[in-house]
Structure 1
Amino acid sequence: MKTTNTPLVSVVLITYNSAKFVIESLESVKAQTWKNIELVVSDDGSTDHSVQLCSDWLEVNKSHFFATKLITVPQNTGIPSNNNRGLRAATGDWIKTLSGDDNLMENCIVDNLEYAWQFPEASFITSDVREIDEDSMLIRDRVINDAVIFFTNLPSAEEQLKNYSRWPAFLNTPAFFCKREVWKMADYCDEEFRIYDDMTAVFRIMGKGVKLYYMNKPTVEYRVSPNSISRSEKVNDIRENEAYRIFKKYQTKHLNIFNPFDLSIYYENWLRFKYKGFKGHKGISYLRKLNLYYWYMRFKGVKSY
């Protein structure tokens, strides 16, 4: 560390039935090379023994932190609400968000702070992730998100917001490192939804004129599990319903049907949410190629669109 500046960083760790992985997540926070940490654990009505595990661990390890907090509720309220309880309880200058099945790499906070000191205008930072499986075995040492690279190379928050409205690409909340004042200014995540915390947060933060910055380095171990809320087939209908509501609430306000690119986004979302196919066949992969924005992104080298 090349500076004597020692800001307080709040790690907001959210849990819901996370008993299998939460101790590993907590230990990754404890192992940080940055030591001025407030640890806020927010549980969303777990029915396993997540709360007891966290409570016992915090009691034993509280001396390692500036402060610790455990927030519980009697019933499950959804990811955005759970995040918000933790975010509002945090008092640090910066907030590092984390899910109870993911881990921080040991230099995560130091790397983010050094990036922020290198780029003083950066108050909303994302980074790469390393993928691990349910046994904490490495899947991919580094996941390069070409969508993140595309968005963060745009020169302003306004242009980022416009393009994110066209394509709200996956930006992983556990990779976020954000000033507390920015979360407060953006009014946190949208509690109208139960699953999508990351997407609404990005819309709200960029909507306040805050640009997203990208640190070209993995800082988080992201656990890939078929049972996670982002992948489970059991909640696919709920995810799609929320995605459509986000399209109507957040995306359309930045789209103009007289703009050819924007019009193609309406077409894209019609395919996703309304198109029923013909005689049991949809052919979405072919029909998407009629989307002008698809070819624009290909021209820009974004293959994940």
Structure 2
Amino acid sequence: MNKGYPLVSVIVITYNSSDFVIEALESIKAQTYTSIELIITDDCSSDRTVDICMNWIEQNRTFFANVILVTHPVNTGISGNCNRGVKRANGEWVKICAGDDFLYKDAIEKYVKFIMENPDAKVVSAQISRYNQVTQQISNTAHDTDLDNVFFAANTSAKEQYEILLSIFFQGHALFLAKEVLILIGLFDERFPMQEDFSLRIRLTKYGYKIHKMFEYTQVHRDYLYSVSNTKEAKSFFSKNYCRVIVDYKLLYISEELHGIRYLLFLYSLWLKTQVIKHGNSTESFLSSLFYLLDKVTDPFKFYRYYLIQKNKFI
């Protein structure tokens, strides 16, 4: 135990993760920070994930302050699975890790050091690396530095982050959160079972919680053929994940926050993206390519993004 330091609940969310969950669990066991509660929450896997986790826990539970295994009789999606883990968490802080990802050994130590040095921070985002399942190589993710500089600037308030999130599909990776904050905002929105993070960031900032950035790599995200991940086909304009939020969810978590002219502009932006997907979401489709071009040059939110970046350069 790290005397005087907070208990951190690391929540591993699994669904048919039998091939990789041991690697995820071993990465948590190897953490240099030791005041950790391990929670594994499974979303009705049909493979051996639960059995593998039970056997691993039996051999390794003494490495943790506490270990909890949560199972569920039906599949609810990522948001519901996350919520079950958070509800069982006893830690002051929560770190969620997918069952096919893994943490760098000093990840939790870095997060805790950051919050100790920044006591106002209740939500912390970090950098992620990506593991290519084909090449078996780890690479650091390219980030939109210009937008990062705006969104995570010291003088950018939670309210300003909220306004940015309503206009730009902006990823904030590898979150580390105070459990009390998650409870206060109502946990993950289960209306969006496979898109847990973006709506969460909107509500966090809406409630006044600024997302702070720690410019450290803490987590490795696995890209492979069967991952429930943000993979992008070579000839596709949009990733599978982005297509889901457009077609299935219609970016409802954004539209329900908008009014007046801004809502009308949003509908036009959504229509353009829907047309790209409707016509194949492919560089080989003329109509899909045409609508993608229109989206790039006429989407009003693209101009807003440009404005933000240019404004920041002169501050």
Mark yes or no: TM-score above 0.5. Answer: yes
11-20 vs 192-201, which moves further: 192-201
Contact 1:151 1:164 in 2 (8 A): no
C-alpha displacement of 1:102: 0.4
Contact 1:229 1:235 in 2 (8 A): no
Contact 2:168 2:301 in 1 (8 A): no
- Change beyond 3 A, Cα 1:160–1:139: same
C-alpha displacement of 1:145: 4.2
Cα deviations by residue, 1:195-242 (Å, 9 ceiling, x for unpaired): 011112112222211110111111101111232123478977655433
- Change beyond 3 A, Cα 1:290–1:127: same
Contact 1:103 1:222 in 2 (8 A): yes
Instruction: Write out aligned runs for 1:117-266 (5 A).
Output: 117-134=116-133, 137-146=136-145, 147-153=147-153, 155-172=156-173, 175-231=174-230, 238-244=244-250, 247-248=251-252, 250-258=253-261, 264-266=265-267
Counterpart in 1 of 2:300? 292
Contact 2:223 2:229 in 1 (8 A): no
Q: Does residue 1:105 correspond to 2:104, yes or no?
A: yes
Alignment length (residue pairs)? 292
C-alpha displacement of 1:76: 1.1
Gaps of 5+ in 2: 234-238, 280-284, 311-315
Letter in 2 for 1:281: L
Q: What is the CA–CA distance in structure 2 between the aligned matches of 1:106 and 1:171, rounded to whole Å?
A: 21
C-alpha displacement of 1:293: 2.8
Q: What is the CA–CA distance in structure 1 between the aligned matches of 2:142 and 2:105, rounded to whole Å?
A: 18
- Change beyond 3 A, Cα 1:139–1:64: closer
129-138 vs 77-86, which moves further: 129-138
Report percent identity of matched pairs.
30
TM-score by length of 1: 0.87
Q: What is the CA–CA distance in structure 2 between the aligned matches of 1:287 and 1:177, rounded to whole Å?
A: 37
Q: What is the CA–CA distance in structure 2 between the aligned matches of 1:292 and 1:21, rounded to whole Å?
A: 42
C-alpha displacement of 1:148: 4.3
Q: What is the CA–CA distance in structure 2 between the aligned matches of 1:204 and 1:168, rounded to whole Å?
A: 14
C-alpha displacement of 1:86: 0.4
Contact 2:8 2:93 in 1 (8 A): yes
Q: What is the CA–CA distance in structure 2 between the aligned matches of 1:225 and 1:75, rounded to whole Å?
A: 25
Counterpart in 1 of 2:4? 5
Q: What is the CA–CA distance in structure 2 between the aligned matches of 1:52 and 1:159, rounded to whole Å?
A: 46
Moved over 6 A (4+): 232-237
SS in 1 for 2:124: strand
- Change beyond 3 A, Cα 1:145–1:226: farther
C-alpha displacement of 1:130: 1.0
SS in 1 for 2:51: helix
- Change beyond 3 A, Cα 1:149–1:42: farther
182-191 vs 284-293, which moves further: 284-293
Q: What is the CA–CA distance in structure 2 between the aligned matches of 1:238 and 1:296, rounded to whole Å?
A: 24
Counterpart in 2 of 1:272? 273
Contact 1:123 1:210 in 2 (8 A): yes
- Change beyond 3 A, Cα 1:183–1:126: same
Q: What is the CA–CA distance in structure 2 between the aligned matches of 1:63 and 1:135, rounded to whole Å?
A: 35
Q: What is the CA–CA distance in structure 1 between the aligned matches of 2:162 and 2:171, rounded to whole Å?
A: 14
SS in 1 for 2:261: coil
- Change beyond 3 A, Cα 1:274–1:300: same
Gaps of 5+ in 1: none
SS in 2 for 1:219: strand
C-alpha displacement of 1:252: 2.3
C-alpha displacement of 1:280: 6.0
Cα deviations by residue, 1:10-47 (Å, 9 ceiling, x for unpaired): 00100000001000000000000000000000000001
- Change beyond 3 A, Cα 1:149–1:218: farther
TM-score by length of 2: 0.84
Q: What is the CA–CA distance in structure 2 between the aligned matches of 1:26 and 1:269, rounded to whole Å?
A: 39
Q: What is the CA–CA distance in structure 2 between the aligned matches of 1:135 and 1:12, rounded to whole Å?
A: 27
C-alpha displacement of 1:74: 1.9
